[in-house]
């Protein structure tokens, strides 16, 4: 993935400042852990991933920045800030309306991404996955706005609404984005299979949760397979001497975190399928949630950031 000039759409310094703001806010406001995980993804990992992506919906070498691009770029941080600010307002219609600005941004970005995909004569899997990622980001934002509005779609328990938003943010949007960023330009068959698995993972799990325990366990097994494949790729990358030492260490830590996180997910999925209480959701949030968000996704994005700018993507494993 090549850079398109020196234009910086998302400045890492902004993400760092946002992260500091979250840490300060947690000292004066009692966040739920899932909310903290969501805000970490929204204020830190997502901006960094968008900044690092050289083929994202704004910095693509396939088109010059349009007026819509400029509007989206300008509106990004205000909309993100609105979503974060909604967590300081008591849950209800006002909080939901504040969070709705983020829904508007993600929807507009997804429409732009889909429009460009349709208008492109030769579509690559990378372009398709970028569009998939942007659409899952829309789903995450809608579920988050529902959570802030005290609306629970499909009669889900209250906390599950927030967890659904978190899963679509991390597994649906950030995981494909960081995968595209770390994988080589020339995708092998195993890479394509892994990315396609990521594309269908969230719908399969969603259908299973709402209609069929059998489909749900299939979705869990698919998630295990996809994440283990991704972690295996991280191990391969961590052994590459062409990457910086920091990048290799972060890749190894991210891989280990991902294995433990998906292992817990498999354990929970089997307990639900067999109707046993082997592990509870609060335990899953503390361990699976943190390992996945900070360890796997955060570590992978930081490894991407620490990859030296002089490395040729095509030369990396």
Per-residue pLDDT of the chain (317 residues; tens, 9 = 90+): 333 333 344 555 555 556 556 555 555 455 678 888 999 999 889 988 988 874 444 444 445 567 787 788 889 989 998 999 998 889 999 999 999 999 999 999 999 999 989 988 778 898 899 999 999 999 999 999 999 999 999 888 888 999 999 999 999 999 999 999 898 878 899 999 999 999 999 999 999 888 888 999 999 999 999 999 999 999 999 998 788 888 999 999 999 999 999 999 999 999 988 888 888 888 999 999 999 999 999 999 999 888 744 443 443 44
* Confidence at residue 272, expressed as pLDDT on a 0 to 100 scale: 87
CA distances from 18 to 48, 131, 228, 277 (A): 11, 26, 31, 38
* Confidence at residue 61, expressed as pLDDT on a 0 to 100 scale: 47
Distance in Å from the first CA to the final CA of the chain? 14
70-75 long-range Cβ contacts below 8 angstroms, 24+ apart: 72/105, 72/108, 72/109, 72/112, 73/9, 75/105
Distance CA 130, CA 127 (A): 5
Burial environment of residue 285 by CB neighbours within 10 A (0 to 12, 13 to 18, 19 or more): middle
Distance CA 133, CA 4 (A): 21
Phi, psi of 157 (to 5 degrees): -55, 155
Instruction: Name, in order, each residue with C-beta under 8 angstroms of 143's C-beta and a sequence gap of 6 or more.
Output: 153, 161, 162, 164, 165, 168
* Confidence at residue 209, expressed as pLDDT on a 0 to 100 scale: 87
């Amino acid at each position: 993935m090549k850079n398109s000039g020196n234009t910086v759409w998302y400045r890492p310094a902004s993400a760092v400042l946002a992260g500091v703001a979250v840490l300060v806010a947690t000292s004066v406001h009692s966040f739920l852990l899932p909310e903290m995980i969501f805000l970490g993804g929204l204020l830190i990992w997502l901006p960094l991933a968008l900044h690092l992506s050289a083929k994202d919906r704004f910095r693509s070498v396939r088109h010059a920045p349009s007026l819509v691009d400029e509007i989206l770029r300008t509106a990004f941080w205000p909309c993100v800030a609105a979503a974060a600010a909604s967590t300081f307002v008591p849950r209800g219609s006002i909080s939901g309306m504040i969070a709705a600005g983020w829904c508007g941004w993600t929807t507009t970005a997804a429409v732009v991404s889909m429009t460009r995909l349709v208008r492109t004569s030769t579509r690559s899997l990378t372009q398709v996955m970028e569009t998939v990622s942007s659409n899952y980001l829309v789903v995450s934002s809608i579920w988050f706005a529902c959570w802030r509005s005290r609306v629970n779609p499909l009669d889900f328990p209250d906390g599950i609404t927030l967890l659904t938003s978190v899963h679509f943010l991390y597994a649906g949007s950030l995981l494909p984005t960081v995968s595209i960023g770390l994988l080589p330009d020339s995708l092998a068959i195993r890479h394509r299979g892994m990315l396609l698995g990521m594309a269908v993972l969230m719908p399969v799990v969603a259908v299973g949760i709402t209609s069929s325990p059998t489909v749900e366990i299939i979705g869990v097994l698919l998630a295990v397979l996809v994440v283990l494949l991704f972690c295996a790729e991280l191990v391969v990358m961590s052994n590459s001497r062409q990457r910086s030492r920091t990048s290799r260490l972060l890749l190894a830590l991210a891989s280990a975190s991902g294995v433990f996180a998906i292992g817990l997910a498999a354990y929970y999925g089997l307990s639900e399928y067999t109707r046993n209480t082997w592990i509870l959701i609060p335990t899953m949030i503390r361990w699976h949630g943190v390992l996945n968000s900070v360890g796997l996704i955060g570590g992978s994005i930081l490894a991407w950031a620490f990859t030296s700018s002089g490395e040729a993507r095509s030369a990396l494993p």
